[in-house]
């Protein structure tokens, strides 16, 4: 059984928990997720099953869409609402829409981020959260990520005079590896206040959106009814963001056996692309790194595995 399960990850579950659950339900070890979500965050988490695990890196490397909420007024050690308070500075009057919009504009495009101490990023072979739990602060690598769009949701923004806080709601489209927690903290700094991420939901990963998803409970029910295969999207949906090269029948066997080929004139960017025959995905290829006049396979879906 091969395909992509568009799972709605529930709060309280790690991405690894979801993988282990699907291994049991689908009876296979060949299961992989496509972008970690923190335990406190719910949302779209495509799970690749069977031969779909071959395209995990390509589905992981897609745009992610989030509904996020940041709270101005205090920061926490984890950069979200689960952590201990670090700094407080009350918001005594509402921050204007104009100031918020001006701040958000500075975060569009490529930005630098320093991963939070409470994250799984490794430094010297050890995860940052392990250092954090030991009370150690280590130098963290700067990341470059892309914010494709960031929209301010005025109607869901509120000022709390009693607690001297202000909630700001956002829709964010970003690259893989973006820490929304850190983005919220950095937006707060730009506005002159300590801040943290108070709520987050992932609403899309690549082509998979909220309406496509199924819950853990729905997965269990489908398995019990012998209908689990109906939950799976085709492997091709996980790479439909990649450019496509259509080939003729004479080239099919050569592609399926992973042969290098002469680079077609229409392949100009050194990025992975789909190779298809009559709309059927055969392989992922890219321009040869040393021989730019050739293309070479990155992943091949062998005959009988499609």
Count helices and strands (H / E) in the chain.
Answer: 7, 19
- The closest of 175, 83, 74 to 129, measured between CA atoms, is 83
Catalytic residue positions, numbered: 38
Burial (0-12, 13-18, 19+ Cβ within 10 Å), 271: exposed
- Using the 8-state DSSP alphabet, how is residue 214 labeled? B
Could you tell me how far CA 236 lies from the centroid of its own chain? 18
CA pair distance 264, 284, nearest whole angstrom = 15
Backbone torsions φ then ψ of 165, nearest 5 degrees = -135, 165
Pairing of strands 126-127, 143-152: unpaired
Residue with structure tokens 């995860």? 127
**What are residue 209's DSSP bridge partners?**
204
């Amino acid at each position: 059984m091969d395909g992509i399960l568009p799972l709605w990850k529930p709060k309280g579950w790690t991405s690894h928990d979801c993988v282990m659950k699907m291994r049991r339900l689908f009876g296979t070890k060949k299961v992989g997720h496509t972008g970690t979500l923190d335990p406190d965050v719910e949302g779209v988490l495509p799970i690749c099953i069977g031969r779909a695990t071959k395209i995990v890196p390509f589905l992981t490397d897609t745009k992610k869409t989030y509904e996020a909420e940041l709270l101005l007024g205090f920061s926490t050690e984890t950069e979200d609402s689960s952590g201990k308070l670090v700094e407080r500075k009350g918001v005594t009057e509402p921050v204007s829409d104009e100031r918020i919009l001006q701040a958000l504009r500075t975060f569009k495009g490529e930005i630098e981020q320093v991963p939070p101490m409470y994250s799984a990023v490794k430094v010297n072979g050890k995860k940052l959260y392990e250092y954090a739990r030991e009370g150690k602060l280590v130098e963290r690598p700067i990341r470059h990520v892309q914010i494709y769009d960031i929209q301010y949701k005025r109607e869901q923004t509120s000022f709390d005079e009693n607690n001297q806080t202000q909630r700001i709601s956002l829709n964010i489209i970003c690259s893989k590896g973006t820490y929304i927690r850190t983005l919220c903290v950095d937006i707060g700094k730009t506005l002159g206040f300590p801040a943290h991420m108070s709520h987050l939901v992932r609403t899309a990963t690549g082509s998979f959106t909220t309406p496509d998803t199924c819950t853990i409970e729905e997965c269990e029910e489908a398995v019990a009814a012998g209908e689990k295969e109906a939950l799976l999207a085709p492997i091709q949906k996980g790479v439909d963001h990649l450019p496509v090269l259509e080939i003729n029948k004479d080239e099919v066997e050569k592609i399926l056996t992973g042969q290098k080929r002469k680079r077609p004139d229409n392949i100009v960017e050194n990025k992975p692309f789909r190779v298809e025959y009559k709309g059927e995905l055969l392989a992922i290829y890219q321009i040869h790194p040393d021989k730019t006049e050739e293309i070479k396979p990155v992943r091949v879906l062998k005959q009988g595995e499609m």
